[in-house]
Every structure is written in structure tokens, then in C-alpha cells.
Structure 1
Amino acid sequence: MAKTEQKLFLKPDDDIDVVIKKITSSRAGHIILRIPENSVLRSSADNFHTIKDEVSRAKKKLLIESIDPYIEEMATLAGIDSINPIFGKNERLISDIIPRSGVPSVRKYHATKRMSSETEREEAFSSFFSHERAPKKHKQRRIRRERSYRPRSKKQLAFSLAVIAFILVGGVVLATRVLPRATVVVLLEKTPLEFNTAVIVSSVAYEVDAEENKVTIPGELLTAIRNIEMQFPASGEEMVEQKATGELYIYNEYSSSPQTLVKTTRFETPDGKIYRLDDRVIVPGVTVDGGVITPSYIKVSVTADKPGETYNIQPDLDEVWNIPGFKEAGLMERYRGFYAKPVLAMTGGYMGTAFVPTENDISEARKKVVAALRNSLLAQMLVVESRELQLLEGSERFAVLRDEIKIDTGEAGTFRFFAEAEMQRIVFQESVLVNTLLDGLVSPLDYDFRIIEKDFTYQDILPDWDVGSLTFVIAGSFYVEPDVESSTIKAQLLNQDEMMIRSIIFTIPGLKKANISLWPFWVKRVPNNSEKVTVELQ
């Protein structure tokens, strides 16, 4: 019983013949074809059209699995369903915003009004004399007020003393620990280190080679090849003679040795039509395993011997086409051992008036196809290129390798423009070049430094595509400053007096100028609390 579904795993070097053989030998009605990322099938879109045609002829369903977006796109263009089994997700970066802390408020203390004992006594006596009608009651009130006055004055006195002490202690703390601050602004020397160096970027170099005024660094030669076929309307008309074309499988059942067939080798159909081989091919020999002989085969392109629609045929795919040259030479064993079978129909033969593209049609078609190829190759480069790689102006090459015009002789009045192009780039890591230049600089400075600014240009850029190298001159300056940290200076300044502050500041390498501020005016020493000290490097 035939399997309903089968997954076929291809190797990177499995060509279209191996794929067709696997598909035709599979008994499954639904085939899942797993194509690796570096498969040789991606070299031409024709491979996918052939697979599509073979599957259609076998009346099977096909799904292509691949993580290569280029393979997916070619499968889609050929009308084959495809899927990428791996999906990635982008993560959103979130940054926290930390608000500034407020300035702590300073508690204000208000002095408490105190009533003097003399004033109270006067008020008591005045109250006493103003109430003559009830002397006894006033006398009792006076006694009570005198009794209540004496303990309150002691409490008030104690409270006043406590407030005074608190204010004095708080004042001392405020003056010595809270208020004192120190600000040190250090202006450092900014020194330019100039260079003018010849550079060679080599795609075959594996390590840096630095000489005086000359540096060789590793680089990469990136190459991408793509082909596209597009259809356009043809506005011209003329008499044309066009030969039918198609494909054959050539079988070898004769010998385990390979057989070379020259270009234009003839193949004869059962009804006597002749088709000729488009290119020289080598038919592999048979394989023998345990005494079992398995014929070998290879797929080739052929063209009809004569123009015309007579050669547009839909042959039986199992019919045998012979090679009459072997028979004519008397090589009957070879004649019977080598034969061919058609892959699909032979089409394109025509004689008569047809729509043909004018020079303007071809020119416009070429512009559009070339633009599409360039954009496609640029997108392909972005996939393989790292952000760390530097591409200089003039180190990229785009070239059309071949193009072909195919005239549709039907009533549609169109033609197809096929083109294949290549894009190359020579790139390198700029960080490697910068570090190499820094290592080779002869510095006039006697202290460690760090780069704060880079200013350089690339000049005289010249690629050599044959060897995959790039030469240029890099000229400019590295602006450096002393490699000192504000935290280190701050740690040295804590709790130091003015004399020690100056001594520490003057030991900073590359010092240009410094400004020291102690606040308030009575402060003569840097606070021992690092949060009260600010060191700013400029």
C-alpha cells in the first residue's frame, strides 16, 4: 500500500537529477522536501520549475521546507508551496527613567516667646487692685496664680535651655557636617596623535601584519549571485524562424565507464524527428552492486534540428529516443546501451509572423531587470553582512553575467528577458584597523591615555577583485586625554586640607587647569563624605 506522505531530506550537494530521482521513486502522494540552506539547487530558479513540472506530471503534492529565504522565494516563484520551520521574535528594549531626587528640606526652628516673671507679677498686682468689691476672691486667685507660676517658670527655663542647647548642637552639626561641600573642576589636556598609513585589506589574510607606515588586516570578499526572468510586451512584428526546445534524460546501460557526448549530438524520435544536444555532456557509467546493474542517467537540454511548429510535440514520457550516430558508426552495442527519454514536451518551434521586441523594448526591459537584480542582491547582502563590517565607497561591484531574450510566438505579443548578475563587496572590521593603528603609534606622551575623538578619512581606495583585496590610505588624528577617573581623584581628596588638595591636583597627568571650591566660606577641608564632594573632568 502506497504511503500517503513522505519527507525527503536533501544533502547540500544533491543536484536536480538526484531530486527528480527521489521524487519519482517515492510512492507517497504527498512529499515534503527538506532543502538545506547551502543546497546547490539555489544556483538556478530553473531547478524549482523542473521540480514543479516533475511533481505535476507524477500527480503528487509537494511542500518545500527550508530556512533559506532565497530558496523559499524561488519555490514560490515556481508555484510550489514552501514553509520556514523556524520563526524568530524581536524583543523590545525598555529603558528605565530614574527621576531626580529632590533637595532635602531644612527644618526651621522658631524661638518661643517667654514671659518674664516681673511682667507677670505686675499683671497680678494690677488685677488684684482692680477688683476692690471682692477682695477675698481676688486674694485667693492671686495665691493660686502665684502657686501656678513658680513650677511653670522652672519648666520654661529647662525647656529654654534645652532649645538653646539643641540649636547650638544643631548649628555645629549643620556647619560642620551638613553644609560643607567641595567642588573640583579639572581641565585636562586634549592631545592629537596624527597618522597617515597605507592599508591592505586581504580576504586571504588571517592575522594583522603591521609594518612602518603600512598595515595588512584580514577582510572578507562577499559574493552573491542571482537571476531573474521577467515578461514584457513586444511592440515589433517580423518574420521569425524559431526552433523547438526541451529536455531529455540520457541513460547509460552499456558500461560502467562514463561516455562523453559532444555538442549537437543527434537524438531521434520514434517518428524520425531529430533534436540536437545543446552542450557537451558526460554521461556517468552504470553502478554495479552485488551483481545488480543500475543504469545511470543525466538530464540535458536539446533543440530541434529545424525550425517550425512541427517539432512542438507532446511525447510519451516512456518512449525511447535513440542516438543514430552510434548506429551509423556500426557501434550497435552502444546504440542499444545509450538512449534517451523526454522530460516534458518540446515547445517554442515557430515559422511565420510574430511579435518581437524592438530595440527600445529590450532596452527598457534590461533596465527593469537589472534594477530588480540589484535590489535583490542588496537585500541578500544585508542578510549575510554584519553591522561591524565596514564598506568603503568603491569597494562594491555589480555585474550582469549573462542575459537572454526569449520571444513568445503566441498571440500574447510578449517576450521574456532573463538575466543573471553578481554583486561583490570587500569589507573589514574598522575596530581592528583602529586598534592596529593605535598599537603602532609613537606617542610623545609619558602617561596612559584614552581616545575621546577620532577624525580620519579613507583615500585612494582601489579594489583588486581577482585576488579579493582592497588598498587605501587612512589619514587623520586620534584625540586623546589622560586616562584618569574622577572617582579615584575624589577618594584621594576626602578629608584633605587646602595644601594637600593642591598637592594631589598637581599630580594629575596632563593637567591643564583646575578650580577648587569649598563652601561655605569657613570650610577649610574637603568633607569626609564622598556624597558631598564633586569632581568634574573636562
Structure 2
Amino acid sequence: MAKKIYDIMPPKVAQKARVAPMVVKRKRAVKKEAPVFTAEKLQTTSATIEKRGFPKKELLIGGGVVALLLAVYLYGALARATVEIAPKTQTLNFQEKISADTSYENVNLLKKIIPARVLTQEKQGSQEFPATGSASNDGKAAGTIKVYNKVSPVTPITLKAGTHFLSDSGKYFISLDRIVIPAAKGNAPGSVDVRVEAEQSGTEYNIGASKFSVPKLSGTAYYYGIWAESKSAMAGGYTGSVKKVSKDDLSGAKDVLTKKLLAEAEALLREKISPDEILLDDAVSKTTVSALADATEGAVAGSFNETASVKVSGLVFKKEDIQKFAKLYAQSKLAEGSALRDELLDASYEVDTVDMQAGVAKMNLKVLGTSYHFIDTHALGGSLTAKNAGQIQAAIEGQYGVEVLTVKTHFWPFWVSKAPKDKNKIKIELIFE
């Protein structure tokens, strides 16, 4: 049978043609094809968007409402006011006599006393000093002579201590003891050994063996019957000088050492003072407890040692106590309704008298300061709420009058023209010109 060929397949044939392949290829994976948009569908979608439009009007209205609410909030939340008040001031100048007393522990305005305490520092030390005095160190020659007695008629002879004997070389020697010379026996003269010393010092008295006469017996019958002889040379005669401790040496050593120890003791005392304490220069007591040298005046020595002990005491008080007294004193002199500018308060003092034993120092106190009419900034803030600059100035001047020199008000942010209703957002500052 001849096969039919169709240019356009009939619907039934076309359906069969499409179904047949699906039966054969059932088990194969079917590829999904991307959707195809026809021109007709695209035109429909674009037309729909154009019909809806962008909501510009609604956004503008909503944004305006939000901005208005935000502005109202910021106006109330950010609003601040600063009021600067320059009060009228008055200079203060007071003078008073006060005491720093160790028997008090607190400032006493009524008795005009501030507390004080006494600090004490002791110091001991020694130092060697040279002797500057000089003394003769001459030596006298000495030796032994034998004195003979050949007086006739025979008799013992007694000579006193200090009898002079003259050598054949012209040197005088003196007996040191009383002499008793035995009488002669027959042709043998009586004799005795005697210790003698040269009348003067010097090496020229170191003479050799010599014969001696007794000058005081000259012109008497005893002169030729009494004589002396030495068998050995005299020795020990010399001249020289040595150092000795003088009165000036002792006083100078004491002065030098005690001054040195007192300076060291005062330095140690000042180290004990805390930074907030004051040591009055005129309230420092310096005492020499003891001073002793190991040599006496006239002692022959090249040097000597001086030992001393000293004590330094000082009266101190606290800076804060004198400032506290000055503040209390100035406040007691203020007119009613006035206040004191603490930062400008100045207290100076001069020492009048000091009694370290009693622990009291009398001083002249001078107090300088500045006062102004008291302005209660906390209470004032509540009366300035919701007021403009002019109203604020009028309110302050109405309350304090001539006690206020100037009033300046600053608002923030720039668009604010009145003080906030919340007084805590109003800052009041006192400005002193």
C-alpha cells in the first residue's frame, strides 16, 4: 500500500506521531527545557507594572511626619541653657595674733590657737684636732759628785738642799738634797756622794770629770776645806720645743665640733617633717649636751680628741591647720549673706616669740581673701525655667540687685530661645572678673 505523505498532519495523526516516540523512549531521562516567554506575555507584564506606579507621595508624607516628630523630640531633649553670673566681690584683709601650742590637738578659733608638736633629734660625735701651742722642752744636765770635808778643827759640815757648786769650767750645779759631810779622820777627809743638777738647760752643761767649789763659802775658813769632784761626765743637758694643748685649742675644738653636730642634727630633724608640716626657723632650739677633750690645757701633745653630744628641737605645725584657722577666722568676719572664695584665701605669718620649754610659739597672722554675696545656684535654677534671656536677667537682678554685676545667658542648640522646663538642664556658673 502506498505510503501517504502529508504537508500538514491531521490532528489525530499528529497526536499519534507524538505519542509513539514516548512509548519507545520511556526509560530515558527527559530533559527539562527552559520556559519560553513569548512576546505576548512580556507585553502583558510590562503593562501591569506601569499600571501600579511608585508611591512617592506616600513616602514624602511619611518622611515629613517622622522629621516633625524628631524635631519636636530634639527640641525638648537637646535644649540646654547656661547662665553666667558675675557677682560683685570685696577684698578682705585681716590681722590677728595666734599661738601654735603643743597642748592642743585641734584648731581653736575662740582661743586663737592651732595645734603643734615638738620634734627632737640628738647627735653624738668626736673629732681629732691638732695642738697649736708650744712649750720649751729643755733638759738639764745631771750627775753625781763627791763632796769632801777637810775642815780644821775637824767637824761634820751640813749643807742645805740647793747648795750651788761651781765647776772649774765655770758651770753651776745645784744639790738636790740636804748634805751632811762627815768630819775628816786623820789625813783622810770626810766625804759623801751627792746628786746635782745643772742650774740651766743646754748641752754645754754636759761637762766631763771636774772639780767643784762652794761659792757661798768664799771668804770663810770653810772655803778651802770643802770641795767636790766628779769622776764621770754630766749628762742630759739639751734644748728644744714641743707642741702643747692651749686654751684656744680646747675652745676652738669644742666650737667646731658642736657646730658640725648641730648642723647634722638639724638636717636629720628636718627629714622627720612630713610635706604638710612647717618648721619655724625661729622655733628651733639647739643645745650642747656635753663636750669633753681627752687632754687638758698645757698638756704636751701633738693632737687631741674632742667628743661632744648635741640636741636640736623644733616646733612644727600643719599647713592645713593654719589654712583652716585662716578660713574660719575670715568666715567669722564676713557680712551676713556673704561667701568666701576659698581658692583666693592666703595666710602668711611671722614668729613673735618662741618658748620651747612650754611648747608655744606666738605668731602674727595676716589673712587676705575675697568675698561675694552668696548665690544659691541650685535654688535659682528652678526659677529660670521656660524663660528667655531677658526674663532670666530680670529675674536674677530682681533677686540679687547690685550684688550682681553682669548676667549672660547661652542657649543650645542654636534654635533654642528659652530655657528648658527641666531645671536640671539649666547650668548656672559664677564668673569672677
TM-score (norm 2): 0.51
Q: Which residue of 1 aligns with 2:264?
A: 375
Deviation at 1:147? 0.8
Q: Which residue of 1 aligns with 2:404?
A: 511
8 Å CA contact retained: 2:258, 2:288: no
Tell which deviates more after alignment, 455-464 or 189-198.
Answer: 455-464
Q: Which residue of 2 aligns with 1:430?
A: 322
Is 1:480 the equivalent of 2:371? yes
Is 1:493 the equivalent of 2:384? yes
Distance 1:392 1:518 in 2: 54
AA aligned opposite 1:419:
S
Pairing partner for 1:163 from 54, 63, 71:
63
Secondary structure in structure 2 of the residue aligned to 1:473: strand
User: 1:387/1:148 Cα in 2 relative to 1: closer, same or farther (>3 Å)?
Assistant: same
Distance 2:48 2:254 in 1: 119
Q: Which residue of 1 aligns with 2:88?
A: 189
Secondary structure in structure 2 of the residue aligned to 1:376: helix
AA aligned opposite 1:144:
T
Deviation at 1:357? 8.9
Q: CA RMSD in A?
A: 4.5
Secondary structure in structure 2 of the residue aligned to 1:173: helix
**1:67-466, aligned counterparts within 5 Å?**
141-154=42-55, 156-174=56-74, 176-177=75-76, 180-204=79-103, 216-220=112-116, 222=118, 224-232=120-128, 234=130, 236=132, 363=252, 366-367=255-256, 370-380=259-269, 382-383=271-272, 385=273, 389-407=277-295, 415-425=305-315, 427=317, 429-431=321-323, 433-438=325-330, 440-441=332-333, 443-459=334-350, 461-465=352-356
Cα offsets for 1:318-354 (capped at 9, x unmatched): xxxxxxxxxxxxxxxxxxxxxxxxxxxxxxxxxxx78
AA aligned opposite 1:217:
I
Cα offsets for 1:40-83 (capped at 9, x unmatched): xxxxxxxxxxxxxxxxxxxxxxxxxxxxxxxxxxxxxxxxxxxx
Secondary structure in structure 2 of the residue aligned to 1:505: helix
Deviation at 1:414? 5.7
**Higher RCO, Cα 8 Å, sep 6+:** 2
Cα offsets for 1:450-507 (capped at 9, x unmatched): 5341234324622234544322322342212344465554454344455653354334
AA aligned opposite 1:375:
E
Deviation at 1:430? 1.0
Deviation at 1:388? 5.2
8 Å CA contact retained: 1:452, 1:479: no
8 Å CA contact retained: 1:458, 1:472: yes
Distance 1:190 1:208 in 2: 28
8 Å CA contact retained: 1:233, 1:357: no
Secondary structure in structure 2 of the residue aligned to 1:395: strand
User: 1:179/1:422 Cα in 2 relative to 1: closer, same or farther (>3 Å)?
Assistant: closer
User: 1:427/1:167 Cα in 2 relative to 1: closer, same or farther (>3 Å)?
Assistant: closer
Distance 1:417 1:470 in 2: 33
User: 1:165/1:359 Cα in 2 relative to 1: closer, same or farther (>3 Å)?
Assistant: same
User: 1:525/1:400 Cα in 2 relative to 1: closer, same or farther (>3 Å)?
Assistant: same
Tell which deviates more after alignment, 522-531 or 509-518.
Answer: 522-531
Distance 2:105 2:425 in 1: 53
TM-score (norm 1): 0.43
User: 1:482/1:379 Cα in 2 relative to 1: closer, same or farther (>3 Å)?
Assistant: farther
Secondary structure in structure 2 of the residue aligned to 1:158: helix
User: 1:164/1:391 Cα in 2 relative to 1: closer, same or farther (>3 Å)?
Assistant: same
Distance 1:375 1:357 in 2: 28
Deviation at 1:515? 0.1
Cα offsets for 1:278-319 (capped at 9, x unmatched): xxxxxxxxxxxxxxxxxxxxxxxxxxxxxxxxxxxxxxxxxx
8 Å CA contact retained: 1:230, 1:369: no
Secondary structure in structure 2 of the residue aligned to 1:501: helix
Alignment identity in percent?
A: 12
Distance 1:498 1:436 in 2: 38
Deviation at 1:537? 1.8
Is 1:536 the equivalent of 2:432? no
User: 1:457/1:404 Cα in 2 relative to 1: closer, same or farther (>3 Å)?
Assistant: same
User: 1:526/1:427 Cα in 2 relative to 1: closer, same or farther (>3 Å)?
Assistant: closer
8 Å CA contact retained: 1:449, 1:480: yes
User: 1:371/1:490 Cα in 2 relative to 1: closer, same or farther (>3 Å)?
Assistant: farther
Secondary structure in structure 1 of the residue aligned to 2:294: strand
Distance 2:402 2:372 in 1: 9
8 Å CA contact retained: 1:234, 1:358: no
Deviation at 1:191? 1.9
Distance 1:444 1:423 in 2: 42
8 Å CA contact retained: 2:101, 2:114: yes
Structure 1 alignment gaps of length 5 or more: 1-135, 241-352
Deviation at 1:379? 2.5
Structure 2 alignment gaps of length 5 or more: 1-36, 137-241
Cα offsets for 1:225-283 (capped at 9, x unmatched): 5131223353658689xxxxxxxxxxxxxxxxxxxxxxxxxxxxxxxxxxxxxxxxxxx
User: 1:492/1:359 Cα in 2 relative to 1: closer, same or farther (>3 Å)?
Assistant: farther
Is 1:471 the equivalent of 2:370? no
Cα offsets for 1:161-185 (capped at 9, x unmatched): 32233233334434x2355332211
8 Å CA contact retained: 1:231, 1:415: yes
Distance 1:476 1:501 in 2: 37
